[in-house]
Structure 1
Amino acid sequence: MHQRLNTLAMVAFHEGKCVGTVVCKMGDHRNSTFRGYIAMLVVIKPYRGRGIATELVTRSIQVMMESGCEEVCQVLVGVPFGLYSSKCSM
C-alpha cells in the first residue's frame, strides 16, 4: 500500500545555489483516479539546456507513481524565478 502525498516540491542546486524547482500536486480526479500533475517547473536561464528540468520532472514522476498516482499530467505554468528565489536559498 502506498502513502498518498498531496504536494511535492523538489529543488536543484549547483554549488550551493538553487538553480531550479518543480512543484507537483496529487489528488483524486473525479473521485475515481488518483492523479498527479506538475504545476510549476522553473530553471534559471544560465542553467537551461543542461538536463536539469528533465531530471526534476523524471524524479517527480517517479515519486508520484510511488505515492500511488495512477496517472501523471503536465499542467505547467510559467512563473518568474525571482518570486521563489528566497525560498530556495537554504
Structure 2
Amino acid sequence: MKIHEIMKSKEYKEAKDKIRDWKKQLDREGEEETLKIREEQRKFFSEMKKNNPEIYELFAVSRKEIGEKIYHNITGEEAIID
C-alpha cells in the first residue's frame, strides 16, 4: 500500500488521534497517570506492530516523542531518544 493510501485509512486516523490525545495528556499529567499512559501506549504500539506494520513505521517519530515525554514526566529530566 502507498503512503497516501495508508494515511487515508481509518486505522491511521484513529492512531493519529490517540497519539495526539496522549501527547496532550502527558503535557499536563503527573507520574501516576503517565505510568498508565505508558502501559497503554506500549500495548497499542505492540499490537499495531503485529497487525499494521506499515502504519507502525509511519509513527516512529511519534513513538519517540511520547517516550521522551514519559521519561520527562517520570524523572523530571529531559531525554533525547534516537
TM-score range, shorter chain: 0.3 to 0.5
In terms of fraction of residues, the more helix-rich structure is 2
TM-score by length of 1: 0.34
TM-score by length of 2: 0.36
In terms of fraction of residues, the more strand-rich structure is 1
